[in-house]
Amino acid sequence: MRVALFVTCVNDAVFPSTGVATVRLLERLGVTVDFPAAQSCCGQPQFNTGYRTETEPLVRRTVRAFEGYDHVVTPSGSCAAMVRHHYPSFGTEAGALAPRVHELTEFLVDVLGVTDVGAYFPHRVTYHPSCHGLRLLGLGERPRRLLEAVKGLELVELPGAEECCGFGGTFAVKNPDVSAAMGADKITNALSTGAEVLCGADNSCLLHVGGMLRRQDAPLRALHIAEILASTEEEPWA
């Protein structure tokens, strides 16, 4: 199977390792991955801040970049949700892209039909289901089922898992105090699990929570689920 990788702008610039992990994981599962270089940002930050007109060129660019692919895979729940939920309001062509875009865990479980991806990650992990993946995409148990099948991985329940971490795109900048208070509670819950890794399927949220963890020198690091699933006994992920 041939798929296009929609790496997303945040992953491209800040978390390329998530893109690399996604490529290695998909290739290991026998998928041929293309990276259409014309891709950029899906337009979510502009759209959610209320700048619809400014979103339009990015929607057009994204639609063009992924023309001709039946499956577009992205390691980001919120960018997938942007395309799935909001692109149809930008016209027929944009609407046609919506069902072809899959968030990574959704693609693995629903399209490839696998939950055991042959990964090895001998650590205690807790999972934060980011809001857009949770509520807009309805990822449900997919990420957990994938993690549970990882050899050596001990999955521990995150208290208050379904509560927002406080990132919310420009919300973190426009309402810094509330955002930080939400992030602090998320971290307290995550630390209470004794996990070494806080796993998520959205690096935007992990940028926020991870940044707070680093500021506190907490004994917990934030890691994208793709990097855990890409890790094997032969080639363990750092």
Partner 1 sequence: MPAFPEAAREAVGNPTLRANLRHATHTIRDKRARAVAELDDWAALRETGKRIKDRTLRQLDTYLLQLEEAVTAAGGTVHWAADAAEANRIVTELVRATGETEVVKVKSMATQEIGLNEHLAAEGIAAYETDLAELIVQLGDDRPSHILVPAIHRNRGEIRDIFREKMGSWGRPAPEGLSDAPAELAEAARLHLREKFLRAKVGISGANFMVAETGTLVVVESEGNGRMCLTLPETLISVVGVEKVVPTWQDLEVFLQTLPRSSTAERMNPYTSMWTGTTDGDGPGTFHLVLLDNGRTDALADEVGRQALRCIRCSACLNVCPVYERAGGHAYGSVYPGPIGAILTPQLRGTASEVDASLPYASSLCGACYEVCPVAIDIPEVLVHLRGKVAEEGGKGHRLERAAIKASTWVLDHPGVLATGERLASATRKLHPKRLPGPGARQWTESRDLPELPAEPFRDWWRKNRT
Residue ranges binding partner 1 (CB under 8 A): 7, 9, 11-17, 19-20, 23, 33, 35, 37-41, 43, 45-52, 54-55, 57-58, 61, 131-132, 135-136, 162-164, 166-184, 207-208, 210-212, 214-215
Residues in Cβ contact with 151 at an 8 Å cutoff, skipping those fewer than 6 apart? 119, 120, 121, 122, 233
Distance of alpha carbon 107 from alpha carbon 87, whole angstroms: 19
User: Given the complex with partner 1, which of 51 and 151 has the nearer CB atom?
Assistant: 51
CB of 119 to partner 1, least distance (A): 21
In the complex, minimum distance from the CB of residue 152 to partner 1, in angstroms, rounded to a whole number: 26
Amino acid of residue 154 = E
Burial of 33 (0-12, 13-18, 19+ CB in 10 A): middle
Which of 155, 207 has the CB closer to partner 1?
A: 207
In angstroms, give the least distance from the CB of 140 to partner 1: 13
Task: Using the minimum distance from each CB to partner 1, give the nearer residue, 20 or 155.
Answer: 20
Q: Nearer Cβ to partner 1, position 204 or 232?
A: 204
Phi, psi angles (nearest 5°) of residue 22: -65, -45
Task: Output the CA–CA distances (angstroms, integers) from residue 15 to 66, 132, 207, in the order listed.
Answer: 21, 19, 9
